[in-house]
Structure 1
Amino acid sequence: MAKRHLYEIDFMRALIMFAVVCVHVTTVYFTMAAYNTPLFFAFGAAITSLHFTRESFMLITGIVLFVTYYDRPFRLVDFWKKRFLLIGIPYLVWTVAYIVFKGLYYPLEHYWDPADMSKNFIRSMLTGNQYYLYFLFVTIQLYILFPLILVGLRKFKRYHLHIFIGSFVLQLLLMALCKFVIPGIPANGLPPVVEKIVEYREQFILTYQFWYVGGGIIACHYDQIKQYIERHAASVVLALLASVGILWIHFFADIFVLGESEPTAQMVVQPIMIPYSLVISIALLCVGVAWARRRSKPAWQPLTRFIKTASNASFGILLIQPILIVYVERVLQIVTTSGASKWLHYGLWPVSILFVYLAAMVLSHGLSRIPFVSYVVGRKSQLVKPVRQPTASM
């Protein structure tokens, strides 16, 4: 059976990665805004509404994996060999790269001590705590568990709806645990293993189980779900608008009614982000399907080429953007301390987002075209491309 390509997922991948860059660049501006000012809260609300990206990326990861393997022969060794090469090499290389970069950009006493460096490297590899490598660390856990999830969804096909609902409810409970219970538990009162899981809960796959299980179930019934979404596109748009409004009300109520701190109100791991992220993901899929139907038309070719490039480069963008953002932040600090107008400072906000996204895309695309080096951005490559044989003319 030929491998199926989901063009709408390309669209989602490109757009979600743009939202990721928006979150991280906007966070820089948020931290520089005066505390408790309208601008401070506006940036906080904007960042919160963009916090669907982690969940959406995990959802499409589950969809792609199960669309690829659910109805096809599955060979465990081949799967692990392919997947771990494309995730393990970037994880190792960028862990080292980030450690070196921090040592060069933020020089600290004893940072380069061999013993300290070794401990830092081992801790980073075991926790994924360097910048946004937690996503790769969680993905590695997914690849380990994927064969079991695949067997389970194949075996219990009749109960997919029950599993989906159960996984959704479990996810809500886990998020409630993360926001309302765990912060009040003294870490030293827990067993050592549980203490580590709690400490690194945002790098632990159970924290995101619904997005992989749910993505798998969506993939198992992909065509029916896609058709349903297309038929109810207007309802999807209304749900999207309502969800954003509800999230903003929830954000400001947490701060001004419940008295929560801004970081707590902005948390990614909180119950409201589950239905919100699911609605956003469905809306993105709906738009992606609409684009996929038009992508071959001549007038749409520039956008189609851009989306293809951005989608292929998205993994590399995730890995490259932290370093670019550090330098963007440095430029903004220079602009601020130079006494320049606030209009210039905040006028650079969209420019900063576009710079990081496009520069990271160009760098990722360039690296992906270099044999072997391409693996650092999760792309396979060949030294020599196979030559296509000309077809005989009639």
Structure 2
Amino acid sequence: MSTTQIARPAARASARPSHLYQLDLFRVITFAFVIFMHVLGATTFPQDVHSDAIEGLLHFTRQAFFALSTFVLVFQYRDRPMAVGKFWRRRVPLVAVPYVLWSVIYWAYSLATADQPPASTGASLRALVIEIATGTAWYHLYFLLVTLQVYLLFPLLMKLVGVIRRHPWLVLAVSGAVQIAVTFFLSHPPASVDYTTITRFYTTLLPYQFYSVLGAVAGVHLKAVHSWVLRHRWLVLGGLVVSLGIAEAGYFWNVHNGLWPEVASDAFRLYLIPWFVAAIAAIYLAGARWSEGRRRGSKAISWAVDRSFGIFLSHPLALALLSPLIALVGDGAGAPWTTIVVFPATVALTLLIVEILRRLPVSKVLTGRPSLRAVAAKVA
């Protein structure tokens, strides 16, 4: 999750690892939109028609990262054997340990800021165990739980690399059909299925599987995908505009027909699927164009990528700590000024938190990266 360093195939094991610079910008752009989406949600009312119209589009970030995560893994292992046990021992703790620790942090923060004290210590601990098991300690931690599922199922996916190599469009078609069926089920569940059951799907890989498969196909066929995106950049941008129109038309049509804006803008709407795919392609295009040019701002981009996992984990805490600012600006200026003020403040406070964490001996388990002192000692 926190690296774009890609090893070359085994046949070139002695060569220096390559670096896919386009993924650096891809990651930074997507994380910026993640923070903006959460800030927008915190600084507007849940049923604000116009802000929800934007939030629906911003859900592309989760699909983009599942595509990116699988892309990186498949590209790394597509031409060399993988020892399953070694893979799990290396990858799973890098996500599982921070996931558990940050679940505890957010659980403790919730207890400390609750209006009423907990019923009992035992009840609070039981709630923590449930939250860790379900990815609900805070609203963004489900992503890590799903990422762990990607890691656990990745060896099975690698057995399909030959099929992906020979029949990429068939694989995408089958996965896409499953995605449409799952999305339809989640957005139009049978009356016999209660809402609690539906929400349990959100922390599983199933609602995101198509985007992981899309990343896998791109990882196997990177050269062809990269060339096609660059050659057809106007088609990619045109698809972005058209899919944007489809997404917004679907949203406003549903709102007009009585669906709550917050529901009409959730991530599991059929009219959002083309937009998600187009947004992923467009951001990759931006990264590809940047990587093949002068790569302006590359030091800042690399700095942000190195801290990206920590930024993801801690930015909701920064946003929560800024609640007095949200109230102050909201009462005085209202929308959209609250969002405009709080977004850069959230970014700044998040970066401060991450810089503090990176200087602690426990940086590895909190940010997925070794402490800056350990990095400096290794370089020296």
Q: Same fold (TM over 0.5)?
A: yes
Q: Does 2:259 align with 1:265?
A: no
Q: Does 2:67 align with 1:59?
A: yes
Summarize the alignment of residues 328-339 of structure 1 with structure 2, pairs less than 5 Å apart. 328-337=322-331
Name which of 350, 371, 389 aligns with 2:340: 350
Q: Does 2:18 align with 1:11?
A: no
**Residue identity in the other structure for 2:337:** G
Deviation at 1:369, TM superposition (A): 4.7
User: What's the counterpart of residue 179 of structure 1?
Assistant: 187
Deviates more, 1:90-99 or 1:67-76: 67-76
TM-score, with structure 2 as normaliser? 0.89
Q: Distance in 1 between matches of 2:322 and 2:91?
A: 33
1:295-327, Cα deviation, whole Å (9 max, x unpaired): 45xxx2xx2112112222222112111111123
Q: Does 2:284 align with 1:307?
A: no
Name which of 313, 318, 322 aligns with 2:312: 318
Q: Does 2:96 align with 1:88?
A: yes
**Residue identity in the other structure for 2:327:** Q
Q: Does 2:117 align with 1:109?
A: yes
Q: Distance in 1 between matches of 2:75 and 2:110?
A: 39
**Residue identity in the other structure for 2:99:** Y
User: What's the counterpart of residue 361 of structure 1?
Assistant: 351
Q: Distance in 1 between matches of 2:310 and 2:379?
A: 27
Deviation at 1:368, TM superposition (A): 3.2
TM-score, with structure 1 as normaliser? 0.86
Q: Distance in 1 between matches of 2:379 and 2:142?
A: 39
Distance 1:67 1:21, change over 3 A: same
Deviation at 1:383, TM superposition (A): 7.1
1:246-266, Cα deviation, whole Å (9 max, x unpaired): 21111111111x321112211
Q: Does 2:146 align with 1:138?
A: yes
**Residue identity in the other structure for 1:82:** R
**Residue identity in the other structure for 1:328:** L
Indicate the RMSD between aligned Cα atoms, in angstroms: 2.1
**Residue identity in the other structure for 2:135:** G
- Match of 1:97, SS? helix
1:106-130, Cα deviation, whole Å (9 max, x unpaired): 242335x221122111101111112
Q: Distance in 1 between matches of 2:316 and 2:62?
A: 16
Q: Residues 135 and 145 of structure 2 are in contact (CA less than 8 Å); yes or no, is this contact kept in structure 1?
A: yes
**Residue identity in the other structure for 1:331:** L
Q: Residues 28 and 308 of structure 2 are in contact (CA less than 8 Å); yes or no, is this contact kept in structure 1?
A: yes
Q: Residues 329 and 338 of structure 2 are in contact (CA less than 8 Å); yes or no, is this contact kept in structure 1?
A: no
Summarize the alignment of residues 20-169 of structure 1 with structure 2, pairs less than 5 Å apart. 20-31=34-45, 40-111=48-119, 113-131=120-138, 132-154=140-162, 157-169=165-177
Q: Distance in 1 between matches of 2:175 and 2:370?
A: 34
Q: Distance in 1 between matches of 2:336 and 2:166?
A: 53
Deviation at 1:370, TM superposition (A): 3.7
**Residue identity in the other structure for 2:290:** W
Q: Distance in 1 between matches of 2:165 and 2:375?
A: 43
Q: Does 2:373 align with 1:374?
A: no
Number of equivalenced pairs: 363
Deviation at 1:212, TM superposition (A): 1.2
Q: Distance in 2 between matches of 1:156 and 1:229?
A: 19
Name stretches of at least 5 consecutive residues in structure 1 with no aligned partner: 189-194, 389-394
**Residue identity in the other structure for 2:282:** A
Q: Distance in 2 between matches of 1:370 and 1:154?
A: 44
Q: Distance in 2 between matches of 1:27 and 1:387?
A: 42
Larger radius of gyration: 1
User: What's the counterpart of residue 5 of structure 2?
Assistant: none
Deviation at 1:274, TM superposition (A): 1.9
Percent of aligned positions that are identical: 24
Q: Residues 229 and 236 of structure 2 are in contact (CA less than 8 Å); yes or no, is this contact kept in structure 1?
A: yes
Q: Distance in 2 between matches of 1:236 and 1:320?
A: 33
**Residue identity in the other structure for 2:232:** H
